[in-house]
A = this chain, B = another copy of it.
Amino acid sequence: MTSSPSALLGALDPTSDRAVFRQIADHLREAIDKGRFTEGAKLPSEAELVEHYGVSRMTVRNAISILQGEGLVHAEHGKGVYVRPRPPVRRLASDRFARRHREQGKSAFTVEAEAAGSRPEVDQLEVREERPSQDIAARLGGARKVLVRRRRYLLDGRPVEFATSYLPLDLARNTPIAQPNPGPGGIYARLEELGHRLERFEEEVRARMPAPAEVKTLRLAAGVPVIHLIRTAYDTEGRAVEICDTVMAADAYVLAYQLPAT
């Protein structure tokens, strides 16, 4: 292996006051953007970059860590550093909770995934009663105890979403909602059967970097943020009957919303 990456990467500018490791990161980023390294391609090894630029290894690693932080590349121990492929994104349409979808039986996640040719899985299912946090209690109109349903969603074996539902206990206790499998149409269908006809949902969307536990649960690569979505379901009497707190791998999702121009 004598060929250097010089054909693909330029030389440093010693007159620039930009730090060397930033210049190297710039070179690599530009090469990726221009397609000189395509998705899944292996970057030159640290040793090759050290040789090419005539810098120390830590400087090269520093440059690469910038690109990792930007989510552009990922390192594989013992193998190399690779350009991160953009995973296929899952689109969440804003009508995904329309009543007509509930009448089919299967859950929204399952139906959508199979339509897209992916293998859906639900995992780490957990149902329990808890005292709600202050925030959740306030959103639920002051509920003192809540039923909590947690679960993780996977597509083709890859975890993409971790969701937690909160329901006022007086409403959910001793109903199918408190069962691990609430039955066809999910908990929204059960809520309507219990007389809580759903009228509207409110969703709050935030984005941030994941906490370490989220990195683990969603097997997130470096440089991938999470989308944090908090949905509140209201019945026709204006009562908040469910809150769903969802953390999604941001590289796996596009959220789509329809807004009327009222």
Contacts and interface: CB of A to CB of B under 8 A. Distances in A.
Nearest to A227: B207
The DSSP consensus for interface residues of chain A is mixed
A130 interface: no
Query: Could you say how many copies of this chain the assembly holds?
Result: 2
B200 A259 contact: yes
Contact of A212 (B29, B95, B98): B29
A193 to B, nearest CB: 15
Interface residues of A, number: 48
Given A211-B70, A250-B225, A261-B99, A205 B94 contact: no
A259 B256 CA distance: 11
A256 B99 contact: no
A195 to B, nearest CB: 15
A225 B208 contact: yes
B95 A199 contact: no
A206 interface: yes
A247 to B, nearest CB: 11
Given A209-B69, A211-B70, A259 B97 contact: yes
Contacts of A120: none
A101 to B, nearest CB: 10
B258 A200 contact: yes
A227 B89 CA distance: 15
